[in-house]
């Protein structure tokens, strides 16, 4: 299975390149797409009383005309409703001419609960809100409770952003072609898609590559080859050393969660750098994790010079005060020859948002690798101009932030987006609401750090960590709290290593 995600523009390029290469033409691709939809309807809804096919004026509507023809030929009761006539001389016009089912006006559409609605009004390329006729069709479908099969994407959902443009069908099944689109994975559109299936209509992998697509659905299949597996002659420091900065006496738990996650994710050594006031609290809870006092930047540098950790985690359990951000800037300034990557989370991000100019200026200079793991609020504080740009999708915002900060961005949420400064990106699809619990983000930062410390590149490590984090939560199940996640990683790591 391939995991590229195609924007509507890239999908159009894939269609064009396939047609140019031959032997199939545009109408041939349309017949294949319509055939896949018709086969699904017959297999999935054999007891449907009537199938209502709703056709728009473009190629999505053309797919619908093919569906109506094939279902009619199979003996299914079919009614066809057209929002507008197919564009003259188009492939959709050819499909309409070949369809023996007479189109009715969309205003006459009135489904019943045991009917199936094939939504072929608009596809992934929709960029403006649905008109009143389409919205009325959605309302009638919802009122009837009829099952919806969406062609490409539920009408009303943007394939590029996942935004719902005024309203959208809620599909039981969505069938798209060649590859998924970002809108299948980004909310709120993702919630409208139901089960999403990808139909092969003869567009080759080489053609997909030729589109220049640089976004992937996050899946172990493409990063597993870089997942760290210990060698027989490894020792604890060759497996990577992670340093985690702790908060004060009343805020030590977050750092310990991050540290335990780093250890469970394979780091050979993990050190918690604790202020003196919190040493006793941390010592009471740590056994395999190393504990070291660190009250100042000088203490931190002494640790770095002595131990040369591969990765530092900074932010969990700290405070949003400006001095926390200043300390982060000093760490980055002293990174050369001392550590390779900094993972910034939580208050480490919020505090830097109060000295954004200094942070972004520092990132223009040579410095450590950087992974930022903001949730929506933290993202908006550090990148307010990007967050406020309503024309950008979550994917585009993450990419823009990665370029601005010269960092890998993990833009968290139910549809977490991971983006690298070079334009690569991934959208996570195994997220779970079980992770909506205090401290789960601290665990994620530790997993990222451990994978980078073991030699996994930053982008791939962030993608793997996000997937592992969600998989561990799913394995544990209901009742999960953040303390459960590090141990739940054991089974996840074993599966990936095996």
Does pTM surpass 0.75?
yes
Identify the CATH number of the domain in which residue 224 sits.
Answer: 3.40.1190.20
Q: 173 forms bridges with which residues in the sheet?
A: 149, 195
Q: 104 forms bridges with which residues in the sheet?
A: 81
Are residue 338 and residue 228 in the same domain, yes or no?
A: yes
**498 band by pLDDT with thresholds 50, 70 and 90:** confident
Are residue 100 and residue 71 in the same domain, yes or no?
A: yes
User: Is a pLDDT exceeding 70 seen at residue 417?
Assistant: yes
Full residue range of the structural domain in which residue 256 is found: 220-497
Are residue 103 and residue 250 in the same domain, yes or no?
A: no
Domain end, chosen from 212, 228, 261, is at 212
3 within domain boundaries: no
> Nearest Cα to 372, choosing from 416, 307, 433, 431?
416
Average pLDDT of span 149-164: 97
Strands 417-419 and 408-411: antiparallel
pLDDT computed for residue 87 by the predictor = 87
Q: How far apart are CA 94 and CA 78, in angstroms?
A: 19
Are residue 176 and residue 324 in the same domain, yes or no?
A: no
Judge residue 436's burial from the number of C-beta atoms within 10 Å of its C-beta, 0-12 exposed, 13-18 middle, 19 or more buried. exposed
Average pLDDT of span 189-210: 97
Are residue 191 and residue 290 in the same domain, yes or no?
A: no
132 within domain boundaries: yes
Sorted by sequence, the CB contacts under 8 Å of residue 65 that are 6+ apart come out as 34, 53, 55, 80, 86, 92, 95, 96, 98, 99
Domain end, chosen from 181, 212, 243, is at 212
Average pLDDT of span 443-452: 98
User: Is a pLDDT exceeding 70 seen at residue 1?
Assistant: no
301 within domain boundaries: yes
Domain end, chosen from 212, 231, 264, is at 212
pLDDT > 70: percent of the chain: 100
139 within domain boundaries: yes
Q: Is 454 helix (H, G, I), strand (E, B) or coil?
A: coil
Are residue 339 and residue 367 in the same domain, yes or no?
A: yes
Number of domains in the chain: 2
Q: Tell me if 148 sits within 8 A of 120, measured CB to CB.
A: no
Q: Tell me if 394 sits within 8 A of 444, measured CB to CB.
A: no
Identify the CATH number of the domain in which residue 198 sits.
Answer: 3.40.50.10260
Q: Tell me if 326 sits within 8 A of 297, measured CB to CB.
A: no
């Amino acid at each position: 299975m391939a995991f590229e995600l195609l924007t509507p523009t890239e999908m159009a390029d894939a269609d064009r390149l396939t047609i140019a290469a031959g032997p199939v033409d545009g109408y041939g691709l349309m017949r294949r797409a319509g055939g896949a939809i018709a086969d699904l309807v017959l297999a999935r809804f054999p007891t449907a009383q009537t199938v209502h096919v709703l056709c728009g004026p473009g190629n999505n509507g053309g797919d619908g005309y093919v569906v109506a023809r094939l279902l009619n030929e199979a003996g299914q009761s079919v009614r066809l409703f057209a929002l507008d006539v197919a564009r003259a001389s188009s492939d959709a016009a050819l499909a309409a001419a070949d369809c023996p089912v007479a189109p009715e006006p969309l205003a006459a559409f009135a489904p019943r609960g045991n009917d199936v609605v094939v939504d072929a009004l608009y596809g992934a390329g929709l960029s403006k809100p649905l008109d009143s006729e389409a919205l009325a069709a959605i309302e009638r479908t919802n009122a009837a409770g009829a099952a919806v099969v969406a062609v490409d994407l539920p009408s009303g959902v943007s394939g590029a952003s996942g935004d719902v443009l005024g309203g959208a069908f809620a599909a039981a099944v969505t069938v798209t072609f060649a590859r998924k689109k970002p809108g299948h994975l980004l909310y709120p559109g993702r919630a409208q898609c139901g089960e999403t299936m990808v139909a092969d209509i003869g567009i080759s992998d080489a053609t997909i590559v030729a589109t220049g697509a640089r976004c992937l659905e996050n899946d172990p299949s493409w990063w597993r080859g870089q997942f760290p597996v210990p060698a027989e002659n490894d020792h604890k420091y060759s497996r990577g050393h992670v340093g985690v900065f702790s908060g004060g006496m009343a805020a030590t738990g977050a750092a310990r969660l991050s540290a335990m996650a780093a250890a469970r994710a394979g780091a050979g050594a993990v050190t918690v750098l604790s202020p003196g006031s919190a040493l006793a609290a941390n010592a009471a809870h740590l056994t395999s994790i190393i504990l070291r006092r660190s009250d100042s930047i000088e203490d931190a540098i002494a640790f770095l010079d002595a131990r040369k950790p591969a990765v530092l985690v900074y932010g969990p359990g700290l405070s949003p005060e400006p001095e926390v951000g200043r300390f982060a800037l000093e760490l980055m300034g002293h990174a050369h020859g001392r550590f390779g990557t900094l993972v910034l989370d939580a208050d480490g991000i919020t505090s830097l948002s109060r000295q954004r100019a200094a942070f972004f200026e520092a990132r223009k200079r040579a410095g450590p690798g950087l992974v930022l793991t903001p949730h929506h609020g933290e993202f908006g504080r550090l990148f307010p101009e990007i967050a406020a740009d309503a024309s950008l999708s979550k994917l585009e915002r993450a990419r823009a932030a990665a370029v601005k900060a010269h960092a890998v961005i993990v833009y968290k949420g139910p549809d977490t987006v991971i983006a690298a400064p070079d334009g690569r990106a991934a959208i996570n699809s195994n997220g779970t609401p079980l992770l909506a619990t205090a401290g789960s983000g601290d665990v994620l930062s530790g997993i990222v750090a451990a994978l980078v410390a073991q030699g996994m590149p930053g982008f791939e490590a962030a993608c793997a960590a996000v997937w592992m984090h969600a998989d561990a939560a799913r394995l544990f199940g209901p009742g999960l709290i953040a303390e459960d996640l590090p141990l739940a990683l054991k089974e996840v790591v074993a599966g990936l290593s095996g």
